[in-house]
Homo-oligomer: A and B are copies of this chain.
Amino acid sequence: MAREKRINMVILGLLSHEDLTGYDMKKRIDNSISFFWNGSFGNIYPALKELEDESLIKSSNAAVGGREKIIYHITAKGKKVLKEWLKDEQASNELRYETLLKLFFGGGADRSTAIHNIEIFEEKVSQDLALLKMLSKSLEDCLDNDDHLYYYLTASFGVETYEAYLKWCAKAKKMLI
């Protein structure tokens, strides 16, 4: 059995909680996991077809308020595949930071350029950190629910690392002045 691609696992994961349309999956991804995983329509819709062909999900048409939707739900087989993926030790964790690349090759320009690039990065990180902190705080109150606990832990990962980023930014700027 060939290894499923990750977007398929994201879809199965989302559907293991609730039935969703492709459009709603995109929203869920944007709102809750986008800081460590992304999805796009050009990515999601073909994956939905693929998953349905493999009988891991099933679709049903619905007309909500006169507008037609395709709502998907996960099958027993889909749940099994999701679980197998969760139990698989292999996991690719990739960091691709162009900002670090630019810093590494900083000698090709002047120090002020390097500092400026760090500041742009810092700004973005600060903004994202503020959001993650709010999310994290709001989840703190319902850790008795397992799903909320898992959600909290990923948000918390973001908070910890983004705080480390900011600490590093300050140090790096100091050393470059």
Contacts and interface: CB of A to CB of B under 8 A. Distances in A.
Interface size for chain A: under 10, 10 to 19, 20 to 34, or 35 or more residues? 35 or more
Contacts of A150: 103-107, 114
Interface string A90-123: 0111111111111111111101011011001100
Interface SS majority for chain A: helix
A156 B168 contact: yes
The copy count of this chain in the complex is: 2
A13 B105 contact: yes
Interface of A: 6, 9-10, 12-13, 16-17, 32-33, 35-38, 79, 82-83, 85-87, 89, 91-109, 111, 113-114, 116-117, 120-121, 124, 143, 146-147, 149-151, 153-154, 156-157, 160-161, 163-165, 167-168, 171-172, 175-176
